[in-house]
Chains A and B, each alone.
Chain A
Amino acid sequence: MSAVQTTSPTPDDTRRRGPLAEVFFSLLRSRTFLVGFAIVLFWVACALFGEHFAPYDPLADDIINALAPPSSEHWFGTDQIGRDVFSRVIVGSRDILTVAPLATLLATVAGTALGLLTGYFRGLVDDVVSRILEAFMAIPVVIVALLAIVALGTSKTTVIVVIGLSFAPIIARTVRSAVLAERELDYVAAAQLRHESALHTMFVEILPNVIPPILVETTVRLGYAIFAVATLSFMGFGIQPPSPDWGLSISNNYGMIGGGFWWTVLFDALAIASLVIGVNLAADGVHGALND
């Protein structure tokens, strides 16, 4: 299959010498990853440089040309106050691509710390923290978000914190089970015999060896984070106007689709769909590359 032979994922296998190159090359061979990565890269480029190649200012209204159907002038038509939908779709990737990765990062950091703690200490700490995390996981993100937003008000920070903390228990669970396997290995015993502190053993000895499962979980979570951010924006609880964010645009315009103004929502919906699928394909590729 490949020039680089990899073994089955035993706990030992997660500790590889020079594994980065290996993973990198097997990612390059994965069609799923490449397709997903290309889609994501496209939207990242739009988020970074969108306004330079968008034909119009995404925020400039033009009330005379409001709700114009797609034409050679406005490829995707215009919305209810005459803003160019094509430009808005391009620049609309910016906010979701800032908020979702930051939320995922928060979830990964918090989840990894919790997972290391519960997995390493086991016993009472594990029991108490794990029960609380389980209870948290049973509550839908949307509900947590509704409460937090009522209590704290709407802002990007609220969204990042809500999604980050909702996803942290899930990552913690993954990390915990990886740590449980790791802590039985000799190098952990060696560290303990050297009287390394628990923190050192957890973060310097164990952490590097549980990176692969964390990486997989993070990419998967990123897909869900985009799902959640888009949904919250659509509900009016996330990114706020005048941002050309996709979820927000759909929520502003879907009231009129009964009138046949399909272009005001279709392209935003397709943009979200493509980004979510792109991230999930990439995540699938990463999963495959690390578990071959």
Chain B
Amino acid sequence: MTLFLLSIMVFLGGQVLPGNVGRAILGPFADQRAVDALNHTLGVDRPLLTQYWGWISNFVQGDMGTSYIFRSPVAPFVIDALGNSMKLAAVAFVLVVPIGILGGVVAALNLNRPLDRIISLGGLSVTVLPEFVTGIILILIFGVWLRWLPISAAWPRNAGFFTQLYYLILPSLPLFLVLFGYIARMARSGMIEALDSDYTRTAVLKGLPWRTVIWRHVLRNALLPTITVIATQTGYLIGGLVVIETLFRYQGIGSLIFTAARGKDFPMLESGILTIGIVYAVATLVADFLYSVLNPRIRLGSDQ
């Protein structure tokens, strides 16, 4: 449903509303015949439904169209950019998921003590800040004053895995900060609820060591809702990527969309956005799957 709506919006926003595409590309002084000819080549003078159907069916078959600006197929650009964005998102996720969960768990175990206050308040304040603001402040601290990390994510050609990783640390930090607060808060409230439950009391009363209670009984129940939250955060993460990739001049899907939007390169823009929609849908599916794996209660009968 979201994908369908997104595709309609992208289509309408990208192709119909701006009016004359040929005019937009060739500029206001171009000959009207040239504009018509270009419109015809691009196919933007066909009826709307035909255009929409043609675009969607081609997209499903892997043909994303031809970039207006580069005059070459869009697909390689999008795939390349998606790969780069995945790297950046992966670094941010690998950092934030364990640390966020750990933060939430530690806060819950120290409920209402200073440590809990620091984690909760700190998490909340970094979460509400726009990525580019934390990004700028981090660049100033680590890139300009301390000179520990490069201020741009564009690594040298043929850079190895660790060099790439080194270049990705700073860009992934703002994403980390935004997500940290959400994940820690979910993990914390999940933990508090699980710690307060009857099964935890039973486990304690039957004499299990505290460590075992936490690992076997509390954590598993506490982290279930957190997984769903992490999946829904992919949407925010993608929004964040657009900003972060622009700030760090990183060739990802976010900056691809951004550049395409600025240059009115509609096939590129539409394909980029639809690709993001698909990634989001897949992430949600994976989360549902993980949730059912980890939660035996909603597993289907045939599994048992």
B-contacting residues of A (Cβ < 8 Å)? Answer: 131-132, 134-136, 138-144, 146-152, 223, 227, 230-231, 234-236, 247, 250, 254, 257-258, 260, 262, 265-266, 269-270, 272-273, 276-277, 280
Contact = CB atoms under 8 A, between A and B. Distances in A.
Interface residues of B, number: 47
10 contacts: A132-B5, A138-B2, A147-B13, A150-B261, A227-B129, A231-B132, A234-B243, A254-B247, A273-B133, A277-B128
B112 interface: no
A151 B14 contact: yes
Contact of B128 (A144, A151, A223, A270): A223
A260 B139 CA distance: 11
Given A139-B9, A270-B137, A276-B128, 20 more contacts: A135-B6, A143-B239, A143-B273, A146-B273, A147-B269, A150-B14, A150-B269, A151-B17, A223-B128, A231-B132, A235-B242, A235-B246, A254-B247, A258-B144, A262-B140, A266-B137, A269-B133, A276-B130, A280-B124, A280-B128
Contacts, number: 128
A269 B1 contact: no
A270 B137 CA distance: 8
Contact of A150 (B125, B151, B264, B277): B264
A269 B129 CA distance: 10
A235 B258 contact: yes
Contacts of B12: 151
A236 B4 CA distance: 28
A98 to B, nearest CB: 18
Contacts of B235: 138-140
Contacts of A266: 136-137, 140
A180 B102 CA distance: 37
Nearest to B242: A142
A214 to B, nearest CB: 20
A144 B14 CA distance: 11
B261 A146 contact: yes
A146 B246 CA distance: 13
